[in-house]
Amino acid sequence: MNVFFRLIKSKKMLLVIAIGIVSAILWNTYQFFESFKQQEEIKMEILADAYFQFNKAKTEDDISLLVKIIENNKTIPMIVTNGEGEILLDQNITYKKSNQEKVLSKKLKEMKRLHTPIEINISENKNQYIYYSNSEILERLRFYPLALIFIFIIFLIILYTVFTASSVSDKNKLWSGLAKETAHQIGTPLSSLLGWVAILRTEAIDQTYVDEIEKDVEHLSVIANRFSKIGSQPTRTISNPSILIEKTIAYFKVRSSKNILFNYTQPQQEILVKLNKDLFGWVLENLIKNAIDAMQGRGVIDISLKETSTDIQILITDTGKGIPKNLHRKIFEPGFTTKERGWGLGLSLTKRIITQYHNGKIFVKQSQKNTGTTIQINIPKKK
């Protein structure tokens, strides 16, 4: 019976962590969409100002820059009308001459629903109005969150199915099959997302936003790869743990408070050890996330990597609230948590990955109230 409950808890742990990461990526994608939308609104305001200046220009004025700004709008559909609603100009709208009036009329109604028109004062008592809709790329970006919600729903279905199975044997087979199928299904929207990231690279937008969404999509790919390993013995290969540590730190730096400082002390010589890089990366993410939470958005995280004759040692130290001595072992038990919100599964999963898959050890090396905590990982070099 105890084995049964341990299996239940480990599966639950994997699902909760995966759902948490997908939720974070979903939020980041939403922020990216909103930022891209704001950029298009700013672009239209600049275009409207150029259009206004163009209409006000005199014969002798140099209007080459204004013309260039107006002509360079090749992505955002727009319609210019007079005060009576008559269409004077349109851009980036495809239609045939035979149905021009019908298409533009329909498009104008859509634009009126989407955005408040930009008013241009041509002269006294004479105004024109610019209506516009989202570019094709922005319209397609609206489906990014839907793809991630679809993935989120898949995880929920797995959660429900696994925990209603009738026996340990059935649960194990079902979990393994669904996890692998989930990883397979995630591949389709992931390929699409990566394709659209490539398209965004060609757009005149701040590429830092694209860099971050690309990192999150790649991170989602890693999650899918982790799930694909469920039900089989993970393969370990000779790897450099320093590279994984640096990659994890870089990922958290841009997603954490600016008041958190990351320090990494790496060995002078390259260290190589057998690791499953996906699962070991999961360990690093859990420990660094816990350290960030313990510091409540302000403090220092020190990470060091060193080598002895028998193993490698990774120490992660935070300046958080500390852990009482009587809880040093208990924190690695499934279901234990000191947080108001949380299921207490992350450290239990971390311990399982280190001890069962890497034949290593993980423990609280030292902790002091309101000073901080050091977690140490030892992984043997020859096993």
Give the confidence band of 190 by pLDDT, cuts at 50, 70, 90: low
For tokens 């209603």, name the residue.
Answer: 164
Across the range 273-295, mean pLDDT stands at 90
Asked if 178 and 162 count as a contact pair (C-beta separation under 8 A), the reply is: yes
Express each pLDDT in 353-367 by its tens digit.
899 889 999 999 999
pLDDT on residue 305? 96
Joined together, the tokens standing for residue 186 give 């995630």
Express each pLDDT in 56-112 by its tens digit.
777 777 778 777 877 777 778 888 888 888 888 888 888 888 888 888 888 889 888
Asked if 44 and 132 count as a contact pair (C-beta separation under 8 A), the reply is: yes
**Least confident range of 111-115, 226-230, 254-258, 269-273:** 226-230
Q: Is the pLDDT of residue 336 over 90?
A: no
Joined together, the tokens standing for residue 218 give 């790649």
CB atoms within 10 A of CB 351: 21
Express each pLDDT in 38-59 by its tens digit.
877 888 788 778 777 777 777 7
- Dihedral pair phi/psi, residue 303, rounded to 5°: -125, 130
Helix (H, G, I), strand (E, B) or coil at 328: coil
Strand ranges (E), the chain: 78-82, 87-91, 118-123, 126-132, 237-239, 260-265, 273-275, 299-307, 311-318, 361-368, 372-380
**Least confident range of 207-216, 287-296, 299-308:** 207-216
Which among 33, 30, 51 has a CA at the least distance from the CA of 132?
51
Give the confidence band of 167 by pLDDT, cuts at 50, 70, 90: very low
Across the range 190-197, mean pLDDT stands at 67
Express each pLDDT in 20-35 by its tens digit.
777 777 777 777 777 7
Across the range 188-202, mean pLDDT stands at 68
Q: Is the pLDDT of residue 252 over 60?
A: yes
Amino acid at 204: A
Question: What is the pLDDT of the chain when averaged over all its residues?
Answer: 79
Give the confidence band of 182 by pLDDT, cuts at 50, 70, 90: low
Give the confidence band of 377 by pLDDT, cuts at 50, 70, 90: very high
Across the range 181-200, mean pLDDT stands at 64
What is the C-alpha radius of gyration for the chain, rounded to an integer number of angstroms?
A: 28
State if pTM tops 0.85. no
- 78 forms beta bridges with 91, 132
Asked if 380 and 360 count as a contact pair (C-beta separation under 8 A), the reply is: yes
Report the side by side order of strands in the sheet with 372-380: 260-265, 299-307, 311-318, 372-380, 361-368
